[in-house]
């Protein structure tokens, strides 16, 4: 069987695994990410790959895909910039290839994860999938016409940074009113903290979970309280969910996907988030009277998506 290896380089750890043609993760390992040192990073990736060493009579690892949180050039060789990893114009493909003696390709990690979901996860069977990752911020990955869509310079699918509110909330990207400021995990926290300050009675459960410190309410408290049926927490999810749906409506107008796959920590809330999101999506998408409404699904592969996607893309 032709196997591939996927490597997902995050800010704190390198996760890697052996993946079969059906997208199954056969073996997995992780290492700490060396800080701000491209050579040490390549060494660590190589060591991780060695460690996975897969030898069975009928199997062969044929290629390695490496996902990084950063801009990757169109040849999938160079990391143009990856702020969290301290990389700039880093020839990562070449450096890793020298060490592992196998074909290597570099991918943007969100694209890799989107590919995995589109091929093997919540979007399987569809050629037009928009993945939205609701983590601290909002990221995205596009699978269009059955292919990862990277744009001309590899920086497409920055869906968290299109503007939903003129003169809106300040964003770390230097703009105001970015979708990320309304639909992310940080937005959910801010919503809950504001509620706790403005209306402590309504946020009683949330406050209790955070030891009565409004500014300590984090996403997991909101999710837990919402699962318990707490009305304050549910209200926060309704606000954020509605913004998720409004953004999906805009993306549907432009991209007409068959389905949206929603991942990231906020999506752990499942339908608590997705029901208001779907509702707002359907209420806002243009042409809703005649178009087929795209499905909105929760991602299925979780943190494995980056490994599986990078692996699978390495031999395409």
* Footprint of its own copies (CB under 8 A): 71, 80-81, 126-128, 140, 144-145, 147, 149-159, 161-170, 173-176, 178, 182, 190, 194, 197-199, 246, 249-251, 253-258, 284, 286-292, 294
Q: Calculate the alpha carbon distances from 5 to 136, 168, 275 in Å.
A: 28, 42, 36
CA distance linking residue 40 with residue 308, whole number of Å:
24
Least gap, CB of 92 to its own copies (angstroms): 17
| Shortest Å distance, C-beta 82 to its own copies | 11
- Positive or negative, the CA dihedral 110, 7, 80, 144 is negative
Give whichever of 167 and 211 is closer to its own copies, judged by the CB atom. 167
User: Please, which residue, 19 or 110, has the CB nearer to its own copies?
Assistant: 110
Question: If you count them, how many residues does the chain have?
Answer: 316
DSSP 224-269: HHHHTT-HHHHHHHHHHHHHHHHHHHHHHHHH--SEEEEESGGGGG
Query: Whose Cβ is closer to its own copies: residue 25's or residue 138's?
Result: 138
| Cβ nearer to its own copies, comparing 128 with 205 | 128
Closer of 24 and 291 to its own copies (Cβ): 291
Q: What is the distance between the alpha carbons of residues 45 and 43, in angstroms, rounded to a whole number?
A: 5
Q: Which is nearer to its own copies, 67 or 257 (CB)?
A: 257
Sign of CA dihedral 283, 285, 286, 292: negative
Question: Least distance to its own copies from the beta carbon of 179, Å?
Answer: 9
Hey, what's the torsion of the CAs at 138, 143, 144, 148, to 10 degrees?
110
- Minimum Å distance from CB 155 to its own copies? 5
For residues 172 and 161, give the distance between their C-alpha atoms in angstroms, rounded to a whole number: 10
Closer residue to its own copies (CB): 83 or 270: 83
State the nearest-atom distance from the C-beta of 243 to its own copies, in Å: 9
Q: How far is the CB of 156 from its own copies (least distance, A)?
A: 4
* Cβ contacts of 116 within 8 Å, gap of 6 or more: 23, 301, 304, 305, 306, 307, 308, 309, 312
CB of 16 to its own copies, least distance (A): 28
Residue 100 three-state SS: helix
């Amino acid at each position: 069987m032709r196997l591939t290896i996927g490597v997902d380089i995050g800010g704190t750890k390198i996760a890697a695994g052996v993946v079969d043609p059906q997208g199954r993760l056969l073996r997995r390992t992780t290492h700490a990410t060396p800080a701000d040192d491209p050579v040490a990073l390549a060494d660590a990736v190589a060591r991780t790959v060695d460690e996975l060493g897969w030898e069975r009579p009928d199997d062969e690892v044929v290629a390695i895909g490496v996902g990084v949180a950063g801009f990757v050039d169109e040849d999938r060789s160079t990391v143009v910039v990856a702020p969290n990893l301290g990389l700039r114009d880093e020839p990562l493909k070449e450096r890793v290839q020298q060490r592992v003696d196998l074909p290597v390709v570099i991918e943007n990690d969100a694209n890799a994860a989107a590919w995995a979901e589109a091929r093997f996860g919540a979007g399987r069977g569809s050629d037009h999938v928009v993945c939205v990752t609701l983590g601290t911020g909002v990221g995205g990955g596009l699978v269009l016409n059955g292919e990862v869509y990277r744009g001309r310079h590899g920086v497409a699918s920055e869906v968290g940074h299109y503007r939903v509110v003129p003169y809106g909330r300040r964003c770390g990207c230097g703009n105001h009113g970015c979708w990320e400021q309304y639909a992310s995990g940080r937005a959910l926290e801010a919503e809950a903290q504001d509620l706790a300050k403005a209306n402590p009675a309504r946020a009683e459960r949330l406050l209790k979970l955070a030891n009565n410190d409004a500014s300590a309410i984090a996403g997991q408290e909101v999710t837990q309280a919402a699962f318990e049926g707490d009305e304050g927490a549910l209200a926060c999810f309704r606000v954020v969910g509605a913004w998720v749906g409004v953004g999906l409506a805009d993306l549907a107008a432009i991209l007409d996907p068959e389905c949206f796959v929603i991942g990231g920590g906020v999506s752990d809330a499942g339908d608590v988030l997705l029901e208001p999101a779907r509702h707002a999506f359907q209420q806002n998408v243009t042409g809703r009277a005649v178009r087929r409404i795209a499905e909105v699904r929760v991602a299925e592969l979780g943190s494995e998506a980056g490994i599986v996607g990078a692996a699978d893309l390495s031999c395409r």
